[in-house]
């Protein structure tokens, strides 16, 4: 099968963009693989899950069924941190719920003299993060550890904490079809999607230096509720950062 035939089949099953990405990734794609990928596209599987690759902040990340695919909205979180790091002082970063590792990898690649710790309670997701950390030659800067928000312990405190936790409430009808291929543990949370923020607000203070900041990605319409949670646990609200669509996407707090 030539590339034009494969493109036509994939375009019919998905769209031109999906067909272009797949045929660029696999220019010598076989007939059997083309038909299989076409079947996955018809089911609504995101292209990143098919080719196991997604670009984020100028870096290519491996992704699979055990992790969320890196999303453009999350680049707002990375930008917010980088904006505050305009000096050359050494910094330490904790990434809570790292998934693919895209956030902490992007930060360590773009902020000089930075090291970090990436934690996730999913061992399968952590294997993906470790793979990406090694691939990007960051294994001397980033340590990946199996832990959750509530129980992680560290002898040293961090300058920066970042997290894109699960924030979708169970039963939310607005979740798109592609989310069925993402791990539920990374998407959904109890208490109307607020449970992870409650755990972070309660437990992260002991992990942050006195002059440090925490940066959180949030869901649509959650900012007021999350600010209230963090203020209850003694945090100071610093600012909100909108994404490219103008939606409040990142909250910043300090001690």
Stated pTM of the model: 0.94
Pair 9, 128 in one domain: no
Pair 70, 27 in one domain: no
Interhelix angle 102-110/75-84, nearest 10 degrees: 30
Note whether residue 233 is domain-resident: yes
Note whether residue 153 is domain-resident: yes
- The answer for 44, left when phi > 0, alpha when psi is -120 to 50, beta otherwise, is left
Note whether residue 87 is domain-resident: yes
Nearest to 185 by CA among 200, 176, 177, 195: 195
Note whether residue 209 is domain-resident: yes
Q: Determine the pLDDT at residue 88.
A: 78
Q: Determine the pLDDT at residue 173.
A: 62
Note whether residue 84 is domain-resident: yes
Note whether residue 192 is domain-resident: yes
- Structural domains in the chain (count): 2
Instruction: Please give the backbone phi and psi of residue 43, each rounded to the nearest 5 degrees, phi first.
Output: -75, -10
Query: Is residue 145 within 8 Å of 182, Cβ to Cβ?
Result: no
The C-alpha atoms of residue 233 and residue 202 are separated, in whole angstroms, by 6
CA dihedral 116, 225, 183, 120 (to 10 degrees): 20
Pair 7, 95 in one domain: no
Pair 179, 230 in one domain: yes
Q: For the chain, how long is the longest CA-to-CA vector?
A: 62
What are the distances in angstroms from CA 25 to CA 62, 97, 164?
A: 13, 29, 28
Q: Determine the pLDDT at residue 151.
A: 86
Note whether residue 49 is domain-resident: no
Pair 70, 128 in one domain: yes
Q: Determine the pLDDT at residue 175.
A: 73
Nearest to 97 by CA among 227, 236, 197, 243: 197
Pair 23, 105 in one domain: no
The C-alpha atoms of residue 214 and residue 26 are separated, in whole angstroms, by 40
Q: What is the pLDDT along the chain (255 residues), one digit of tens a residue?
A: 789 999 999 999 999 999 999 999 999 999 999 999 999 999 999 999 999 999 999 999 999 999 999 999 999 999 999 999 977 788 999 999 999 999 999 999 999 999 999 999 999 999 999 999 999 999 999 999 999 988 899 999 999 999 999 999 887 766 777 778 999 999 989 999 999 999 999 999 999 999 999 999 999 999 999 999 999 999 999 999 999 999 999 999 999
Pair 130, 162 in one domain: yes
Q: What is the CATH number of the domain that holds 157?
A: 3.40.50.150
| Two structure tokens written together for 234 | 């003694």
Pair 8, 83 in one domain: no
Q: For residue 250, what are the contacts with CB-CB under 8 A and spacing of at least 6?
A: 76, 77, 80, 215, 216, 217, 218, 240, 241, 243
E strand intervals along the chain: 53-56, 59-62, 91-96, 114-120, 142-146, 158-163, 168-169, 188-189, 208-217, 236-242, 248-254
What are the distances in angstroms from CA 49 to CA 7, 31, 44, 131?
A: 18, 20, 10, 16
Pair 39, 141 in one domain: no
Pair 133, 237 in one domain: yes
Write out the residue range of the structural domain in which residue 29 sits: 3-43
Note whether residue 213 is domain-resident: yes
Pair 14, 115 in one domain: no
Pair 17, 136 in one domain: no
């Amino acid at each position: 099968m030539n590339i034009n035939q494969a493109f036509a089949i994939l375009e019919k099953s998905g769209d031109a963009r999906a067909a272009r990405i797949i045929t660029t990734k696999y220019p010598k794609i076989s007939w059997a693989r083309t038909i299989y990928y076409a079947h996955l596209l018809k089911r609504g599987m995101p292209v990143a899950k098919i080719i196991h690759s997604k670009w984020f902040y100028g870096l290519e990340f491996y992704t699979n069924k055990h992790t969320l695919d890196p999303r453009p909205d999350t680049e707002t979180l990375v930008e917010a941190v980088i904006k505050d790091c305009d000096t050359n002082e050494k910094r330490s970063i904790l990434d809570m719920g790292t998934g693919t590792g895209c956030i902490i990898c992007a930060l360590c690649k773009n902020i000089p003299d930075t090291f970090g710790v990436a934690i996730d309670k999913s061992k399968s997701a952590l294997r993906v993060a470790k793979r990406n950390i090694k691939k990007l030659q960051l294994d001397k800067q980033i340590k990946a550890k199996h832990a959750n928000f509530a129980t992680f312990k560290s002898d040293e405190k961090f300058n920066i904490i970042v997290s894109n936790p699960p924030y979708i409430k169970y039963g939310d009808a607005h979740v798109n079809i592609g989310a069925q291929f993402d791990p539920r543990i990374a998407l959904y949370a109890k208490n109307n999607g607020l449970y992870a923020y409650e755990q972070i607000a309660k437990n992260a203070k002991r992990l942050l230096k006195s002059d440090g900041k925490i940066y959180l990605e949030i869901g649509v319409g959650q900012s007021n509720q999350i600010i209230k949670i963090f203020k209850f646990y003694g945090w100071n609200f610093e600012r909100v950062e909108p994404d490219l669509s103008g939606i409040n996407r990142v909250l910043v707090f300090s001690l």
